[in-house]
Chain A
Amino acid sequence: MDIFGRLTIESLPFYSLIAASGAGVTVLGALSVAAVITYFGAWRLVLFDWVSSLDHKKIGIMYVMVALVMLVRGFIDAAMMRSQQAIAFDSDGYLPPGHFDQIFSSHGTIMIFFMAMPFLAGLINLIMPQQIGARDVAFPFMNSISLWLTTAGAGLVLVSLVIGKFSTAGWTGYPPFSGTEYNPGVGVDYWLWAVLISGVGSTMSGINFLVTIIKCRAPGMYLLRMPLFTWTIFVTSILMIFAFPALTVACGMLALDRTIGMHFFTNAMGGNMMNYINLFWLWGHPEVYILILPAFGVFSELVATFSQKRLFGYISLVLATMAIGLLSFTVWLHHFFTMGSSANVNSFFGVMTTIISVPTGVKVFDWLLTMYRGRIIFKPPMLFTIAFLVTFVIGGISGVLLAVPPVDYLMHNSTFLIAHFHNMIIPGVLFGYLAGYMFWFPKAFGFKLDEKWGTRSFWCWTIGFYVAFMPLYVLGLMGMPRRMEHYDIAAWQPHLIIAAIGAFIILLGMICLGVQLVVSIRDRKQLLDLTGDPWNGRSLEWATSSPAAPYNFAILPQVQSIDAWWDMKQRGVAYQRPDRYVPLTLPKNSLIGAFIGGASFVFGFAMVWYIWWLAILCLAAIAIALIIRASDDDPDYVMPASTVQAIEDARFDQLAKAPRNEMEDEPGFAGQPVPEAST
């Protein structure tokens, strides 16, 4: 047996210029990050303040950083596909099939698993505990493991660019194409282990968030006083806990097929690929609601805050969220209406799918009615919200169409489907996360993001989206399948060129996002958020300082109403200095979470290349690390009351210097919350 398994010098990508430059960019990127850290002499800070941190806010920030890096990588893939298809009429373009296929596979995998999921987990980590008046998540150490497992998966996808190849089987990895018989290389294994390792992390995140919401709410924060964002996370966590095991099982069985020659999903020997497809979508459909429900939550917060009005139909929105969560487990078969199920089966799942549009429609109307008789302030997050409302409805129409089995027979596997789900995921999921990023950035770093560049980014994203994806609807009606490396139908090309232009406009949007970040860091002194409440907010995360103290709340808030923070401001009890402070118990930092992530990354790499001894070594190391952690009887430290007092005194000094509401300069500002005369 070879000590390096399948790994040889030929695995390096010197066979193609494009592949080699992709590898070069990846390696240079990693080296330059290391160089920057060394230049600033920040290794100690990075390792002992961040990597080892169990503070939910820092973990959240690191999650979002992973997501933004992967967003860039996933977008490069998209741009390569769009440019290939724009020129590949009656020609091979610049990408050979083997390479094009890796690109669409990694684009989907990255955007779902390593962009959207970390972005989601990041926003939740950063905000949700503050929103319910908690000091941390329920299991801070498990939170760290989740982060580093997700990062390990993302790392495996990035490493596949440098050593070996990535999967060509698409982000769904349908067997038997993804089996060894048709796909003997390491590509599918990279995909499998990246998904498996990060999937375990996501399951743990779901458990963590759910327990946090159930057990850690501040006094008086009854379930029906929780902000909508927290409600959507509540449902999303339940979906994560129930759905992700299905993915882990499906991918685990496929890994057994591939690694030790089992026959769960093979063509011969009694295997059946339909079982994989069922299991995969049993996770896959709830997954899209896992992604979009928190975005709905973000929009709910934004639309109320920037309309300067209470959220309309709170109970309806909660019920709709619960209904969507429940229904999301009853529709997975619509991903394969064309697999030969009977008309009764297809009709049932089709009807269930269209039923989901009812609670979704209710949400859209309730958001619009929140704007009704409001005083709308057009900050970039609100612009994203308005674009979402309009654009998402178009995606909803195409979704209901695809839910009608006979229409689906025509549109399945076509670019109409691609247009549909990008129509849900870009304006729905991504706009929600980007809006949340701009909305909550001051809470993370203490200064706001530049509005001008945020607005520019918004216009580029919105226009770019329409230009890039409306042509794909048309191409779908013209019968163009997804995943075409080249084609010989002339009528398709103009639409593909328009779509490529759209991708270029989105590129401008990405650049604007980058510029926004740089400009905002440069001008941070002018953009400082001194009060911790930069938007005249409504929920409890705005009660903390920006950035929040390690313990969030020195004294736990007493919640008396929906929109708890707004209510406190209205009652005149906001920003009150307590009589005395108490010592607070907080988790110590620990490098063990990052170590487990690192070991999982090496384990995944070893499994991909069949380096068995290394895989066993990594598993043993993980087990030992967990035993060491479990034997630690003193994982917390106590912050003395004097330290708490010093931090809080500094905060109140800062507040004294900035007594005004930070939104007062807005022309549309409707006024402070003032005590009501009579209720």
Chain B
Amino acid sequence: MRPPLAYRSHRVALAFGLVLLCSGCGALTSPDLDPSGPITLAERQLLFDAVSIMMIVVIPVFIMAALFTWYYRGTNRDARYTPNLAYYWPVEILVWGVPAAIIVWLGFHLWGGAHKLDPYKAIDKSVEPLQIEAVAQDWKWLFIYPDQRIAVVNELVFPSNTPLAIRITSDTVMNSFMIPALGGQIYAMAGMQTRLHLLSDKPGRFVGRNMQYSGRGFADQQFDAIATSKEEFDAWVAKAKASGSALDKDTYGELAKPSTKVPVTYYSDVEPNLFDSIIAKWREGDVTDPAPAVTPE
């Protein structure tokens, strides 16, 4: 009988550790862990807090698993053996109590975090946000700037340090809108609107995309999200204004047809209430705002 492999597990454990370590380094510069806006930052903080508090339970599990596996191996005749030990009430209190206490702590943070980071909630009531309307199409994103009366496909430009108030819908299957560096995602569904509030606190170029699988062109359904200075933003609006073509019902109908890898396209003018009419199309014209934005107290 050769000794079971479990006795030689330290080398394997080392290999696991290395893989984990290499992976971890890559994650440090990822958009989720190296955020460019306060929303992702706060969401990340919640993640770190939750991981830390859970270590109270997790580390003992690792230590106990390693220690008991090694020390109480059958061949170790020095270890104490109590085959009928099946209940000891202080231990029962501990194994129920400690996880429960952690969950109580986490529950309060979860409740607070979910309310503070409600995607429907405006970020800063004192600042007028930039209004944006996002429409998911097969397989591209249309962004309408109602106040600037411009529209653009597959590019989202906005001034940094200005909150974005985004209304989102879909003119096709379910999509999910996300810019990982700035904040979490929310679904886009036809005949309905969802809301998302984002803020970039420094200029930068980020990846945004649809996260919800939506068919053949899904892999390419991404866009550049560009945070600029106020002046650059104004210049960009002027550039879009000068592009010449307007987005009316007919142009929109053409655009909404399935297409992939659509280049950035600007529209100098947008039909009023286009966004609402896209929603209304799926609701027999019956449009009420089903999702009013939550304003901070």
Contact = CB atoms under 8 A, between A and B. Distances in A.
B207 A489 contact: yes
B223 to A, nearest CB: 13
Contacts of B62: 390, 393
B229 interface: no
Interface in A338-388: 338-340, 342-344, 346-347, 350-351, 354-355, 357-358, 361-362, 364-366, 368-369, 371-378, 383, 386
Task: Tell me what chain A mostly uses at the interface: helix, strand, loop, or mixed.
Answer: helix
Contacts of A309: 81-85
B32 A405 contact: no
A177 B31 CA distance: 29
B211 A481 contact: yes
Nearest to A407: B47
B92 A313 contact: yes
A470 B195 CA distance: 33
B219 interface: yes
Given A310-B84, A375-B74, A354 B103 contact: yes
B91 interface: yes
B86 A312 contact: yes
Contacts of A206: none
A397 interface: yes
Nearest to B40: A410
A444 interface: no
Nearest to A669: B74
Interface string A376-416: 11100001001001100110110011011111111111100
A666 interface: yes
A366 B95 contact: yes
Interface in B261-285: 281-282, 284
A316 B6 contact: no
A668 interface: yes
A368 B68 contact: yes
B252 interface: no
B12 interface: yes
A484 interface: yes
B64 interface: yes
Report which residue of B33, B80, B119, B209 has the largest number of chain A beta carbons within 10 angstroms of its beta carbon: B119
Given A313-B87, A495-B26, A459 B103 contact: no
A479 interface: yes
Interface stretch (A267-275, A283-291, A540-548): A267-275
B43 A473 contact: no
Interface stretch (A9-17, A168-176, A292-300, A507-515): A168-176
B200 to A, nearest CB: 15
Given A479-B32, A481-B211, 12 more contacts: A273-B174, A309-B85, A313-B91, A340-B120, A340-B195, A343-B118, A368-B64, A378-B4, A386-B69, A411-B32, A463-B15, A481-B210
Interface of A: 97-98, 101, 168, 170, 174, 176-177, 182, 267-268, 270, 273-274, 307-316, 336, 338-340, 342-344, 346-347, 350-351, 354-355, 357-358, 361-362, 364-366, 368-369, 371-378, 383, 386, 389-390, 393-394, 396-397, 400-401, 403-414, 455, 459, 463, 466-467, 470-471, 473-474, 476-479, 481-487, 489, 491, 494-495, 498, 665-670
10 contacts: A270-B284, A312-B87, A339-B186, A354-B110, A376-B72, A413-B212, A466-B16, A477-B27, A487-B219, A670-B74
